[in-house]
Copies of this chain bind each other. A is one copy, B any other.
């Protein structure tokens, strides 16, 4: 890629962004679209245009986002979202503080050294105009390299400082949330998976009850043995489906009465494959029949599940928050179930070995290969205008599409590990995704590029990973520069304008939705999706960090990415997305670890690069790596346990009211088991026998 196609790509991205932003300003003012641009406020029962964004200038949302406080974010979107903004501002802070020193110092130092004859490496994806401003322009063994080494130290210390501050801040946020005087059901219940073996002559439930009653005589409320709900869930969903379809058919019938003949047209459907073949039946009658057929099945299965399908786990309810926090941290059985860990390992190994072929495939989707293997595309691809655009975008586009498809797969694999909570599954999938993209995209592109290209400018044949990375980075600077710009402008432009959800919503409302519930489902906004957002941000951060000293002009691109991200997501968090769970910042330690991992990768790469530059003092960088490891260890000791366990200091704060334990308990009964028809005493098979009236403390 030459300089002009780089500018083309940059310019196009920016224009797209401006267009999308104006589109947003125009579309968001139309009342019919308010469910797309303000669903969070609507679901909360607030006026979407409360702050006047409809009448004021089209950029009012920027002011609103800038002036919102952390408390606003927490009340609109919960603690997890607030923690996500801590992540964004920490990373932004690292890049800004680094840039403030690195740009004015390193660019002149590099540009005024003319010792290296620039080898034309256009074909490898770099170009000489920017090369002059990078570390590649400095002579080997030059004493100017000291400036670059000090810059590496500066970036490291800035990172330590901001990470420490952020961890402390998030820890405080979490403490605030956990010591809140509100009664939160999850603070009164724990999931116990290491129940001691059942003694003879007792049922699992009796054992759980007597065991916990003995240890927590004052605060034990009752227990609920976890059951295998696979079959009952399926039946329940079937029933819900029929109920929805019945409602829909009735709505259609009612509508036809108004618009057509007064007696109406009774809707019909076919009962064969996908409703396309088979006998035609009257829909209302058919679904009523089906509902009457499934309901007794569900009821008997509910009884069966509660009685026969108990698992080796139980939810235990406590009437005191401190007791629950303490019980959650205690080891109950001398030996623990390891089945889940075995599955965990098997899945992890599968993914690891799965990544290698996928990584290779993604590396081969370049324009040249496309022409070679799909020759019918050649005439189109060879048109000059299209070629420039394709050359600028294709590799990045392929990458982005591939990365968009991966998370779903990783999510379901993580679920297969048997992790019990939604937030934990997301964290596990997110971790896999992060390591996958850093390994395959960043390291893969860099090392792959180096291995496939000639070693013109490097005399020494590199043979270790840091050396390969170090040699490959300068050759791929433009690729990543374009990648970051694309993600900033097009990615966040689409995010802000919500063009895709808007179109889908209008199409669904017009052609598919018949009932109010269906319309509501069509605009339901979903959550911010930290699981994929976090790793993608981390990829950008890793790239910018690793290039920060080698090619400092990448830093402004990183600042734009995270600055825009902060601004636009602030808007989305306040007005659009609705959190699906709340883990009180439980994901922060993982984010922290990954930022630190990126820093260590950067330090190792720099060590390798100083080696490539034959700088004798390269080993002076080793202390930074050791320091990073020590920093990580100290942070984990100081803060981590509070994110795993609730400190009793925090849990022992007073509550506003006595918890309604009956309500807490009810909130844990899965909908598939809580039919109105089932008598309460049927639960006694899986839940404890403790009389509620006496154990209410």
- Seen from chain A, the residues whose Cβ lies within 8 Å of a Cβ on chain B are 168, 171, 175, 196, 211, 214-215, 218, 322, 325-327, 329-338, 341-342, 345, 349, 626, 630, 633-634, 637-639, 641-642, 645-650, 652
Contact of A175 among B334, B630, B634, B641 (CB under 8 A): B334
A345-B633, A633-B341, A637-B338 as given contacts; A333 in contact with B649, CB under 8 Å = yes
Contact of A215 among B332, B335, B652 (CB under 8 A): B652
Offer 15 A-B interface pairs, CB within 8 angstroms, sorted by A.
A171-B335, A175-B334, A196-B647, A211-B649, A214-B652, A215-B326, A326-B327, A330-B648, A331-B642, A332-B648, A334-B649, A336-B638, A341-B633, A345-B630, A345-B633
Separation in Å of the A342 CB from the closest CB of chain B? 6
Which residues of chain B are near A647, meaning CB under 8 Å? 196, 331-334
Q: Is the CB of A642 within 8 A of B334?
A: yes
Which residues of chain B are near A322, meaning CB under 8 Å? 215
Separation in Å of the A645 CB from the closest CB of chain B? 5
Q: Is the CB of A335 within 8 A of B638?
A: yes
In the bound complex, CA of A214 to CA of B326 (Å): 13
Residue of B nearest to A168 (CB): B335
Which residues of chain B are near A215, meaning CB under 8 Å? 322, 326, 648, 652
Separation in Å of the A322 CB from the closest CB of chain B? 5
Residue of B nearest to A642 (CB): B334
Q: Is the CB of B325 within 8 A of A330?
A: yes
Apart from A214-B652, A331-B645, A345-B630, list 12 A-B contacts with CB within 8 A.
A196-B647, A215-B648, A325-B330, A330-B330, A331-B646, A332-B648, A332-B649, A333-B649, A334-B650, A336-B637, A336-B638, A345-B634
In the bound complex, CA of A168 to CA of B637 (Å): 30
Separation in Å of the A558 CB from the closest CB of chain B? 31
In the bound complex, CA of A332 to CA of B218 (Å): 20
Q: Is the CB of B638 within 8 A of A338?
A: yes
In the bound complex, CA of A215 to CA of B634 (Å): 28
In the bound complex, CA of A215 to CA of B639 (Å): 22
Q: Is the CB of B214 within 8 A of A637?
A: no
Separation in Å of the A339 CB from the closest CB of chain B? 10
Contact of A335 among B326, B336, B345, B639 (CB under 8 A): B639
Separation in Å of the A444 CB from the closest CB of chain B? 22
Which residues of chain B are near A648, meaning CB under 8 Å? 215, 330-332
Q: Is the CB of B652 within 8 A of A338?
A: no
Which residues of chain B are near A333, meaning CB under 8 Å? 647, 649
In the bound complex, CA of A318 to CA of B184 (Å): 30
In the bound complex, CA of A335 to CA of B634 (Å): 12
A330-B325, A345-B630, A626-B349 as given contacts; A196 in contact with B649, CB under 8 Å = yes
Listed from nearest, the 7 A-B pairs whose CB atoms lie closest are A196-B649, A334-B647, A338-B638, A331-B645, A341-B637, A331-B647, A326-B330
Separation in Å of the A170 CB from the closest CB of chain B? 11
Residue of B nearest to A335 (CB): B638
Residue of B nearest to A639 (CB): B335
A341-B634, A345-B630, A637-B341 as given contacts; A645 in contact with B330, CB under 8 Å = yes
Which residues of chain B are near A638, meaning CB under 8 Å? 335-338
In the bound complex, CA of A326 to CA of B212 (Å): 13
Separation in Å of the A529 CB from the closest CB of chain B? 29
Q: Is the CB of B641 within 8 A of A331?
A: yes
Separation in Å of the A98 CB from the closest CB of chain B? 26
Separation in Å of the A199 CB from the closest CB of chain B? 11
Which residues of chain B are near A633, meaning CB under 8 Å? 341, 345
Which residues of chain B are near A326, meaning CB under 8 Å? 215, 326-327, 330
Contact of A218 among B218, B329, B637, B645 (CB under 8 A): B218
Which residues of chain B are near A214, meaning CB under 8 Å? 652
In the bound complex, CA of A634 to CA of B342 (Å): 7
Which residues of chain B are near A332, meaning CB under 8 Å? 647-649
Which residues of chain B are near A335, meaning CB under 8 Å? 168, 171, 638-639, 642
Which residues of chain B are near A646, meaning CB under 8 Å? 331
In the bound complex, CA of A652 to CA of B334 (Å): 12
In the bound complex, CA of A503 to CA of B334 (Å): 47
A196-B649, A633-B345 as given contacts; A336 in contact with B641, CB under 8 Å = yes
Most buried by B among A325, A326, A327, A626: A326
In the bound complex, CA of A376 to CA of B612 (Å): 51
